[in-house]
Amino acid sequence: MQIRDMQTEVHVARHDPVGRISPNVYGQLSEHLGRCVYGGIWVGEDDGVPTENGIRMDTVELLRDLNTPVLRWPGGCFADDYHWTDGLGPREERPRRRNMWWTQGRDNLPEESNAFGTEEFMDFCEMLGTEPYLAVNVGAGDPDEAVDWAEYCNYDGDTEITRLRAKNGSEEPHNVTYWGVGNENWGCGGRFSPEQYAEQFRRYANYLRGFDRVMADESLELVACGHITDSWNRRFLEHLAECVSFGQGTVYNLLDHLSVHRYHHSGSDTEFTDDQYYRLLARARQVGEDIDRAAEALQLFAPGTDIGIIVDEWGVWHPEAVFDNGLEQENTVRDALSAASVLDDLNKRADVVSMANIAQTVNVLQCLVQTNEDSAWPTPTYRVFDLYKQHMGATALRTVVDTEVRAVKSIGNEFNADSEHEVPLVTASASEQDGQVYVTLSNLHRDDAREITVTVESDGVTIEDAQALFGGLPADLYSTETNAERFTPEEIEAENHGDGTVVVDAPAGSTLGLSVQV
């Protein structure tokens, strides 16, 4: 390995904790889209892989190993045209409907069989030990339908709806905490203006919250759909308060989380120039900027509240992923490095970020797992999630990186299309839990390895583990059924220089996990 004489320093400030990293930051989105649910998760009875209740166990085992904390479902755009009662009861009696947004499975047909519904989703979540996060239908539904779904999932009394649940095999409630009030309601979820959505949100949240009070433990957490533009969020938050006061507290009590979505690409999935390689990494940094803007808007309109920010769709969306192929694309090392950089940015904002969901879990967009008819395998991005899972629930520590930057022109966002951006060539985040400090860092340089000096504020540390992903692999290498083992982590040397200083050699285009005892 060639190490050029480029010094990078990472300082981990243990005296400056940022906040607890919600485990939910490592969540995913599973939509009725292409082969995510149908084929990737659900194969029914006629299957070529081991299943339980129609759910493929190879996918379950991979996601279980990630400690997947939360799954958002049923969409995405699909959520605002989904009627939850369609997905209940004997499968052969469930209605076959249009799916106006996406084709399903390998068939290029925009139709929804409803074979996978609420009970199947809850079953899947239980197999994974994951929290369900449901998005209700705002665009084409009504508040009654949404509250009925909450009653079905969470009420433990004796009503027509809870009897229906018992008839479907679930005597006990599912206790779903997270409820999204629609999805992208500025776009596919109804094309509302911020003011119109504020009215819709108030109406839906009024009834969901109202019913929450009569349920056992008032546990619903409601998510409003925000936008990556500042003005949308500000207009929404301002208009939300334009009602007379009612009940206890302010209208902002209706809101527990505000969500934003961010996708990025540059070049194609497997072919990209150096400029495009770095431009993708520059674009990935927009997730952090989106969070900062949303946090400022919340600070302005709802100061003193603890409304969290959720990035409930994020990831790489290449031009190859289109409607006709169910948004499938190849998953490369470059994509995985961009995920590492996003996860570092999420960790660093642990004080305001309450959840994030990469899009999507299986086969679609920047998926973690890919499947064919008889096997399932992890993508390079899966390996990053696996390496980062040690941060879940730990306390994020302020981390300062002193490194070179690469200038990238015109990343083409809506705020500064012509501006020049800087991509730090090393990204890092750190957390502490039970006397152990965990540092993740990536050398984003496409060609050059580098020596990185990590200083953890401490009289001294004991190195427990140092691993690297992707060392020596080209940035455009993508996962297939037969090569998935090439992306597994390797142990690397880490030198303990005393006084909390550890030196590691990071190969070009690699992601490292360094664990030390303090």
The reply on whether position 76 binds ligand AHR by CB under 6 A is yes
Q: Examine the residue annotation and report whether 464 is marked as an active-site residue of this protein.
A: no
The reply on whether position 221 binds ligand AHR by CB under 6 A is no
- Which of 251, 359, 368, 508 contacts ligand AHR by CB under 6 A? 359
Q: Taking the C-alpha atoms of 82, 50, 313 and 423 in order, what is their torsion angle to the nearest 10 degrees?
A: -160
The reply on whether position 180 binds ligand AHR by CB under 6 A is no
- Contact yes or no for 353/18 (Cβ under 8 A): no
Q: Which of 112, 184, 328, 330 is catalytic?
A: 184
DSSP 38: B
The neighbour count for residue 414, using CB atoms within 10 Å, is 9
Residue nearer to ligand AHR on the CB measure, 148 or 313: 313
The reply on whether position 181 binds ligand AHR by CB under 6 A is no
Separation CA 418–CA 316 (nearest Å): 21
Q: How far is the CB of 75 from ligand AHR (least distance, A)?
A: 5
Separation CA 494–CA 106 (nearest Å): 46
Give the amino acid at 309.
Answer: I
Total residue length of the chain? 518
Residue nearer to ligand AHR on the CB measure, 185 or 431: 185
Residue nearest to ligand AHR according to CB distances in the complex: 76
The reply on whether position 312 binds ligand AHR by CB under 6 A is no
The reply on whether position 184 binds ligand AHR by CB under 6 A is yes
Beta bridge partners of 454: 10, 502
Beta bridge partners of 11: 400, 455
The reply on whether position 313 binds ligand AHR by CB under 6 A is yes
Q: Which of 131, 313, 328, 330 is catalytic?
A: 313
Q: Which stretch binds ligand AHR (CB under 6 A): 12-20, 55-63, 74-82, 280-288?
A: 74-82
The reply on whether position 183 binds ligand AHR by CB under 6 A is yes
**Sign of the dihedral defined by the CA atoms of residues 253, 254, 257, 263, in that order:** negative
- Which of 31, 81, 148, 344 contacts ligand AHR by CB under 6 A? 31
C-alpha 511 chain-centroid distance: 19
What is the SS3 assignment for 299?
helix
The reply on whether position 119 binds ligand AHR by CB under 6 A is no
Q: Examine the residue annotation and report whether 184 is marked as an active-site residue of this protein.
A: yes
In order, the DSSP letters of 458-514 are: SS--EEEEEEEESTT--TT-B--TTTGGGGS-EE--EEE-STTEEEEEE-TTEEEEE
Residue nearer to ligand AHR on the CB measure, 22 or 183: 183
Residue nearer to ligand AHR on the CB measure, 365 or 387: 365
Residue nearer to ligand AHR on the CB measure, 31 or 131: 31
**Comparing C-alpha atoms, which of 187, 177, 199, 212 is closest to residue 80?**
187
DSSP 375: -
The reply on whether position 358 binds ligand AHR by CB under 6 A is no
The reply on whether position 81 binds ligand AHR by CB under 6 A is no
Q: Where do contacts with ligand AHR occur on this chain (CB under 6 A)?
A: 31, 75-77, 183-184, 313, 359-360, 365
Enzyme catalytic residues: 184, 313
